[in-house]
Amino acid sequence: MRRGLNKVMIIGRLGRDPDLRYTPSGQAVTTFPVATTRYWNTAAGERRSETEWFNVVAWGSLAEICKQFLTKGEMVYIEGRLKTRRWEDANGQRRYSVEIVASEMIILGNRRRFSGYSDEFGREETAVSPEASHDEGFGETPETAEASEPVEGEDAAEEGTGIL
């Protein structure tokens, strides 16, 4: 096989409300952390747990939907790809950060709070997935969204998203 695969699926809880910003080119971008916890029993019968935190980035209409419907503590399914960002800090130190670039999001849990959001058949709609829109201003990360200079070595385009 000549193609690689970069696909991530997580189910977890939001660590804070999504932070929505706009790039200088007008593209919406939101970031939020998601915690996943796994549980197991040791050989001695002791219950253990381990929590992993993931930084999630959503672009375009998916970013706006995440901001509108997600809140801290909410259980959510995120599907996307891993992306490593590289930048230099104020001291000239090379920094790296791995994040999930979301392409799909499904809200899990209580659907009653979405009563005003339904599809054309009257069903509640909480899933979103990609459509064909692109981020002209990619290279601008949530941390650098106010700055207009692109991050060196980043792709020229980023996937946008929409409602299923």
| Tens-digit pLDDT profile for residues 116-148 | 444 444 444 445 444 433 333 333 444 444 333
Q: The tokens of 132 are what?
A: 């064909």
CA dihedral 22, 27, 32, 36 (to 10 degrees): 180
pTM of the model: 0.67
Average pLDDT estimate for 60-76: 95
- Say yes or no to pLDDT of 111 above 70: no
**106 is written with which tokens?**
């499904």
Any idea where the domains of the chain sit in the sequence?
8-39+48-163
Q: Does 149 have pLDDT greater than 90?
A: no
Task: Scan for tokens 């980043």, then name that residue.
Answer: 154
Mean pLDDT value across residues 40-62 = 96
Options 1.10.10.10, 3.30.565.10, 2.40.50.140, 1.10.3720.10; CATH for 8-39+48-163 is 2.40.50.140
